[in-house]
Amino acid sequence: MADRETARERILEAACDLIAAEGIDDVRIARVAMRARASTALVHHYFSTREELLEQAILHSFETVGEERFAETGGEAPTATAALAEAIEECLPRPGHLERDWVLWVELWLRAAREPGLRPLAATLYARYHEWLEEVLRRGIDAGEFTAPDDVPALTDRTMALLDGLGLRALLRDPTMDIDAARAQVADFLAPQLGIDPKELATSVTKM
Amino acid sequence: MTPRPSIDHIRRPQILAAAAEVIAERGVAGTRIADVAERCGVSPPTLLYWFDSKEQLLAEALIADDDRFYEELEQRLGGAATAAGRMVALIDTATESADDFALWMELWTWALRDAGLRAARERFDARWRAAIEAIVADGVAAGEFDNTDPPRTALAIAALIDGLSAQAALGDPEVSNARVRETVLAGAESLLRAELPASAGAGGPASP
């Protein structure tokens, strides 16, 4: 049983790597199998169609990387401001694992824009992201560290949009801005609305 | 060297419109030159005479789409008397034309891996941000907006629109456009430190 679990995960990891490297449309089952050191028959055993494999791979990426990140973020931060700074950091495409995660996120946008069948998955992931970020904001409001904005869910939406729009450009190596600029922009946007110092929010907290 | 037949000046927009349709449906990877040729009723060799590759078709289809967008934008900006009104008109125009979002998503994902499309994205983005920046700068000069950095604010507004369009493309199409508009407007108000009118034409009190 444990072996089977491992093979399935290996296949999903291989699929994530290939989606990130080559794009979701170019991923072929045979290449996923080769990369996972599995047979195509084994891939088909776990995933009856290519679509199912790709969907499960994206879900896998967000569940492992995402949940680890969402669960841990800010837990040990001394202040809500530090926790929020950390959360902002977790939402930007830093090179390494987060960057692969980000490419998958963009691939999911693309795919879901074309295929309504994928939208519930995307909506679920967005809802989870929203819930997590809103929680970070509420922590500071409840502690009296942030002044309460009029509408916390709406501010969460705007912050997510800004993070996504800026993160996308950083991911694409936009020549006019990078991750540091994105972080500073988000801090300057949020800080006045929460009554805190943007400098504290823009402090890079690279733990990982 | 034979001159290109003049009839192709008529065909070109038709080819690009067909390319936009097919690519939005199937993605660049799933699109064959023959599919586009069939959709617009030309032979594949004719199409290949004008366009070398699917990537080029995507880029050119986006240029045509973009030009239409700016034509409409210019018209709508002309109807607003103030910079705040023009900002609302810009946000309206950008958030209403969500149909072609799949095409722009193609650009973003292909720009991750294709240098030519990455450069194309930078050109589109520069034009778009300049259009936003011009309105911000007008508003600052007129004392309508309290803002010290129009280029940076233009980037943030562009990022907000992209991030929200992605959220909308993944959500319920019935409610998303209105929500995107409302959320971008609220975000823009924070960034501009100004109140925006309820509609682009409203120069004074709302008429009944």
User: Given a cut of 70, is residue A108 above it in pLDDT?
Assistant: yes
The residue type found at A151 is D
Whether residues B108 and A106 touch (CB distance < 8 A) is answered with yes
Predicted local confidence at residue A72, as pLDDT: 57
Q: Same structural domain for residues A167 and A93?
A: yes
Which CATH superfamily is B8-51 part of?
Homeodomain-like (1.10.10.60)
Predicted local confidence at residue A107, as pLDDT: 83
Give the position of tokens 């950008």: B94
Q: Same structural domain for residues A82 and A119?
A: yes
pLDDT-derived band at A71 (thresholds 50, 70, 90) equals low
According to the 3-state scheme, what is the secondary structure of chain B? CCCCCCCHHHHHHHHHHHHHHHHHHHHHHHCCHHHHHHHHCCCHHHHHHHCCCHHHHHHHHHHHHHHHHHHHHHHHHHCCCCHHHHHHHHHHHHHHCCCCHHHHHHHHHHHCCCHHHHHHHHHHHHHHHHHHHHHHHHHHHCCCCCCCCHHHHHHHHHHHHHHHHHHHHHCCHHHHHHHHHHHHHHHHHHHHCCCCCCCCCCCCCCCC
Predicted local confidence at residue A84, as pLDDT: 94
Q: Same structural domain for residues A145 and A185?
A: yes
Predicted local confidence at residue B55, as pLDDT: 85
- Interface residues on B facing A, Cβ-Cβ cutoff 8 A: 24-30, 101-102, 105-106, 108-113, 118, 121-122, 125-126, 152, 155-156, 158-164, 166-167, 169-171, 183-184, 186-187, 190-191
Residue of chain A with shortest Cα separation from B171: A123
In angstroms, rounded to a whole number, what is the distance separating the alpha carbons of residues B93 and A57? 36
What CATH number is given to the structural domain containing A133?
A: 1.10.357.10
Give, in order, the Cα–Cα distances in Å from A168 to each of B110, B121, B159: 13, 12, 9
Using a CB-CB cut-off of 8 Å, the residues of chain B touching A114 are 24-27, 102
Q: Contact B36/B47 with Cβ under 8 angstroms?
A: yes
- Pick from B101, B112, B156: CB nearest A113: B101
Q: Which residues contact B85 (CB under 8 A, 6 or more apart)?
A: B197, B200, B201, B202, B203
At A137-180, the pLDDT tens digits run 999 999 999 999 989 999 999 999 999 999 999 999 999 999 99
User: pTM for this structure?
Assistant: 0.87
What CATH number is given to the structural domain containing A24?
A: 1.10.10.60
Decide which of A29, A55, A81 is a domain's last residue: A55
Q: Same structural domain for residues A193 and A108?
A: yes
For chain A, what is the domain count? 2
**Residue ranges per structural domain of chain B:** 8-51, 65-192
pLDDT-derived band at A1 (thresholds 50, 70, 90) equals very low
User: Given a cut of 50, is residue A207 above it in pLDDT?
Assistant: no
Q: Same structural domain for residues A130 and A103?
A: yes
Average pLDDT over residues A84-94: 90
Q: Contact A17/A35 with Cβ under 8 angstroms?
A: yes
Is A35 a member of any domain?
yes
Residue A137 structural domain: 73-201
A106: tokens are 């963009």
Q: Same structural domain for residues A123 and A87?
A: yes
- CATH pick for B65-192 out of 1.10.1670.10, 1.10.3720.10, 3.40.50.10790, 1.10.357.10: 1.10.357.10
Smallest CA–CA separation between B55 and chain A, in Å?
14
Using a CB-CB cut-off of 8 Å, the residues of chain A touching B167 are 126, 157, 160-161, 164
Is A62 a member of any domain?
no
Per-residue pLDDT of chain B in tens (208 residues, 90 and over written 9): 455 555 566 688 888 999 988 988 888 888 899 999 999 888 888 888 888 888 888 889 989 888 989 999 999 999 899 999 999 999 999 988 666 778 888 898 889 888 999 999 999 999 999 999 999 999 999 999 998 899 999 999 999 999 888 888 776 555 577 888 999 999 999 999 999 998 887 544 333 3
Is A208 a member of any domain?
no
In angstroms, rounded to a whole number, what is the distance separating the alpha carbons of residues B53 and B63? 15
Q: Same structural domain for residues A46 and A143?
A: no
Is A207 a member of any domain?
no
Predicted local confidence at residue B205, as pLDDT: 38
Q: Contact B137/B185 with Cβ under 8 angstroms?
A: no
Predicted local confidence at residue A70, as pLDDT: 61
Q: Same structural domain for residues A50 and A81?
A: no
Q: Same structural domain for residues A115 and A31?
A: no
